[in-house]
Structure 1
């Protein structure tokens, strides 16, 4: 196994417990898919075993502070520990879709595994971990023999497909899962999406359990309107879901139908959110609850949007159509944005408008995180009461 001697900045991060290898700490590194032993450049102290492989985040991952061999037994042990952590989800009658393996939260970055009823979904984030695909699948079958079949999502560049069926029984093209007692229509083999973002299930639960009762709800960047469905289940008087993607209407209505809702009080708008803000203001529309959950970065024909620079604009314009004493649910999944940085964006948007932070939710317990690395807990969702 190759030896890699690293500089003090990277060494400090590893000793702190951070597993992601940041490319900025390895400026002259030629990254090839390889397992390496890390040593301190300063003291020659052994620091751990890592693998090198470029992905969206970083140039590799520390996988152990010991020297290890990657074989089926190694992965079985990782998966057994991960499964035990999610016992409450396995025993739940109200939730049948959740994450069972979450990168560095389960001590191995580069892949995740989600369960949707009796089917598993693997997401591969770099080419090195993809080389271990069959070994990891064999380990998974040994630890999760109850799973009927599995699919994969390819989240790195280089292959000519994004999604595929990989073993066992094939799932229906679309099927219903449960989350907090609410039904959602999902799909496992259609691009990178599945019809729901599982990391938001505690936020949706708050809408089911009181936050939306009797309220009008506006859901911005709604995707398949899962927040709107949760709000409807929680007694919302009406919901409006806004997304630029035309397919969002079809997928959103499928969720509503899965719960037997009449669509009369639930609207779906295919529109840029900033255009919708202007439309709502022009027509005198107001909302009691506004959910704002944009992608970290987006570009359309008119403009680009970055959470780190532009989120305040979403807040400022939401205030113009928010009912008196209304509530804003402000969400971001940008891992490069700290809680304090996100708060600064929110405060810039609120300006002089008085408001109260009621709650902060981050990743739910099935999305285990590396507590030593703030970026591992990427989700940040503030519930804010506006006192206007």
Structure 2
């Protein structure tokens, strides 16, 4: 039997937890000294010893654990995980039945009822990501529950938590079939080459599926497109597939060159017909201005935080300046796709960055449309931080 521990919650945090806030903050715990190993169930009690909820203790950058149930007598066992997984699968029925897409998020942490755990689906293969030692301690129950909830070709895992004070991004095989690499998956009719056994990144950010499709179907035709912080070139592939006259992909990582070529190739697009540049994006912006290059569409999807040899980028502090650089090389009536996955600010503040950038550049703009997380990245109203993705299509006048 797994040990169960009672912890006291400080009064200022009780109301939010009772109303469904799922994250157990470090500062909310009045008696943290009782927490030793991250393999325990915790009962949250108020200052009058009344039950609030139960969850697990697991340290990650967001907090000290997650609420799993508001029923004091509910067992957190294999049956609990099976119930959560089956509900999550039913919610994504349309994606499972799709003939156009077979890569999506099957289970999205607290949005599906278990914070600190995500499961991505890739053509029958499953990638389980553990965000703390605490949730990883349930590995046996989770894997067994997954096998009993759906058809599984193979399972890989990614561990993203501290061990001995060091943050790790470890990925490895768990069980089942081993695919031929790359594993080719489909998204909205396009193909992606992915690797579940090669480091922290698999080759595709699934949360941008709707944005990529929108670019291909409604914006790309005949356009000269610049894709910055391009990773493996997903936006570029969809732009090219949508009839873009030219795509340029820019990313600082050396491997982005071979990875982007591969993504074009699996979509029967000759990589040599596209421009792929390994360079600091900010350095490229200066080059583009110097050479008087202009683009009909600029995609900005930077990491929340990034560091190069000469520059540190923080979305919350530097996005306005990044937008100014993009505005300078966007044609009149051109479109900027501004995106951020930074959870520390909301859409309203993000739009203030946009307004400030255009104001400082002396240009007018119109917001054409907005996107947040797709359906499979399920979120809950009580945890706003979980709805992190903000994408705005902006027309420059």
TMscore range, shorter length? over 0.9
Aligned to 1:134: 140
Moved more, 114-123 or 44-53: 44-53
Spell out the pairing of 1:101-140 with structure 2 (5 A cutoff): 101-140=107-146
Moved more, 67-76 or 160-169: 160-169
Contact 1:308 1:345 in 2 (8 A): no
Confirm or deny that 1:373 pairs with 2:376: no
In 1, Cα distance between the equivalents of 2:27 and 2:351? 26
In 2, Cα distance between the equivalents of 1:221 and 1:239? 13
Superposition deviation, residue 264 in structure 1: 4.0
Q: Residues 161-195 of structure 1: CA distance to partner in whole angstroms, max 9, x if unpaired?
A: 71110001112221211000011111100011000
Q: Residues 13-48 of structure 1: CA distance to partner in whole angstroms, max 9, x if unpaired?
A: 21332101233444873454231111222x443211
Spell out the pairing of 1:28-177 with structure 2 (5 A cutoff): 29-30=32-33, 31-32=35-36, 33=38, 34-41=40-47, 43-67=48-72, 68-144=74-150, 146-158=151-163, 162-177=170-185
**DSSP 3-state at the match of 1:54:** strand
Q: Residues 179-216 of structure 1: CA distance to partner in whole angstroms, max 9, x if unpaired?
A: 00011111100011000000110110101211111111
Q: Residues 232-268 of structure 1: CA distance to partner in whole angstroms, max 9, x if unpaired?
A: 1111111000000010010011110011112344101
In 1, Cα distance between the equivalents of 2:328 and 2:32? 50
Aligned to 1:198: 206
In 1, Cα distance between the equivalents of 2:279 and 2:71? 52
**DSSP 3-state at the match of 2:62:** coil
In 2, Cα distance between the equivalents of 1:13 and 1:360? 29
In 1, Cα distance between the equivalents of 2:212 and 2:206? 10
In 2, Cα distance between the equivalents of 1:334 and 1:21? 21
How many residues matched?
Answer: 385
In 1, Cα distance between the equivalents of 2:224 and 2:16? 46
User: Alpha carbons of 1:27 and 1:357: their partners in 2 closer, same or farther (altered >3 Å)?
Assistant: farther
Contact 1:127 1:156 in 2 (8 A): yes
Superposition deviation, residue 344 in structure 1: 2.2
Q: Residues 126-149 of structure 1: CA distance to partner in whole angstroms, max 9, x if unpaired?
A: 0011111111100100111x2111
Aligned to 1:254: 262
Aligned to 2:16: 13
Contact 1:10 1:21 in 2 (8 A): no
Aligned to 1:23: 26
Aligned to 1:323: 331
Spell out the pairing of 1:264-279 with structure 2 (5 A cutoff): 264-279=272-287
- List gaps (5 residues or longer) in structure 1: none
In 2, Cα distance between the equivalents of 1:202 and 1:327? 17
Contact 1:3 1:38 in 2 (8 A): yes
Superposition deviation, residue 6 in structure 1: 1.0
- List gaps (5 residues or longer) in structure 2: none
Contact 2:193 2:262 in 1 (8 A): yes
Aligned to 1:343: 351
User: Alpha carbons of 1:11 and 1:306: their partners in 2 closer, same or farther (altered >3 Å)?
Assistant: same
